[in-house]
Amino acid sequence: MAKKIGNKKHEQFFGMEKKMKKLILICVVVVLFMVAGQGFGIDFNDGGIHSINYSEGNVYVDNGTPGMYTKVNLLNGGYIHKFFAYQDSRINISGGRVGLSLVAYDRTQVIMTDGQIWYLDAYDSSQATMSGGTATGDLIAKGSSHVTMSGGTATGDLIAKGSSHVTMSGVTVMGYLEAGDSSHVTMSGGSVLGMSVSNSSQVTISGGTIGSDGFLELVASGNGKLIINGSNFAIDGISLGFGEITSIFGGVYENEPYRRLTGTLANGDIINNRFQIGNNAKIVLIPEPATIALLFLGGLVFRKKH
């Protein structure tokens, strides 16, 4: 009886050993596949037009070859692990998926109308336009890049750094808008979860929706400037005219009390958000065009009467 039990234990041990070897083999294959996908790729730098509707590792366009204007189209069914665009290259994404990063350098132009990327990094003087599709990570503008978004969805944050310019008119950003350094952001539509304006950056809002997550809704710090174009403004229910709103204590924004700004933006959207202002930052309220016209006409009438 003891011998039979010993045999059973022996069989169980070797059965488990076989399973472990099989599991290790599967893990090795998966790792090798991932390494291969990350380490190998293809270069396009011939000035031609190339369409990708198949799976590829890393793709490099016009790396070290200025003035070629090589165009790469990512189509339905296509997959690129990492996408690097340099010099004067042209990238069109109308379908497919970029598994990790889409990085644009130099004077690259990127147009995204559909498809999916993880995140976008726009450097130097590159230009990126998004009118559709999905970014499942962050959208980041750096250097002197220009990023224009009229549609699509970003599930991460929208981050503007350096002296970049970002224009929003319709995109849905499920994370925060973070403007830093000397960046400029213009928002006339679309939506963000919250907004942070810091350093010497400037954000101008004339439309769109700023979410209300109860924490980071509107924050201005450093020398940041948030310009809001609209009418019927009030703070904590008290009506106020146009002009600047500044810090109460003059220190960091975390030590500032929450205040609530309400009003109507230039395009008719409602603003109703808590805000904090720190250091030398400011929120500047300016009248929308119709109000400017009324103020101008009112001034003329006043002059005629006097």
Residue 197 is inside which H or E element, if any?
A: strand 194-197
- What string of pLDDT tens digits covers the 306 residues of the chain? 444 545 554 455 445 555 565 555 555 444 444 444 444 689 999 999 999 999 999 999 999 999 999 999 999 999 999 999 999 999 999 999 999 999 999 999 999 999 999 999 999 999 999 999 999 999 999 999 999 999 999 999 999 999 999 999 999 999 999 999 999 999 999 999 999 999 999 999 999 999 865 666 999 999 999 999 999 999 999 999 999 999 999 999 999 999 999 999 999 999 999 999 999 999 999 998 755 544 444 443 444 455
Q: Tell me the two tokens of residue 216.
A: 């980071």
Q: Compute CA distances 72 → 43, 101, 246, whole Å.
A: 11, 16, 48
The Cα 118–Cα 193 span in angstroms is 19
| pTM of the full structure | 0.82
Contact 287, 265 (CB under 8 A): no
- pLDDT number for residue 39: 46
Q: Residue type for 43, please? A: D
Q: Characterize 89-106 residue by residue with b for buried, 16 or more Cβ atoms within 10 angstroms of its Cβ, and e for exposed.
A: bbbbbbbbbbbbbbbbbb
- pLDDT number for residue 288: 83
Contact 141, 123 (CB under 8 A): no
Q: Tell me the two tokens of residue 244.
A: 């600047």
Residues with Cβ within 8 Å of residue 112, at least 6 apart in sequence: 92, 93, 128, 129, 130, 131, 132, 133, 152
CA 213 to chain centre: 18
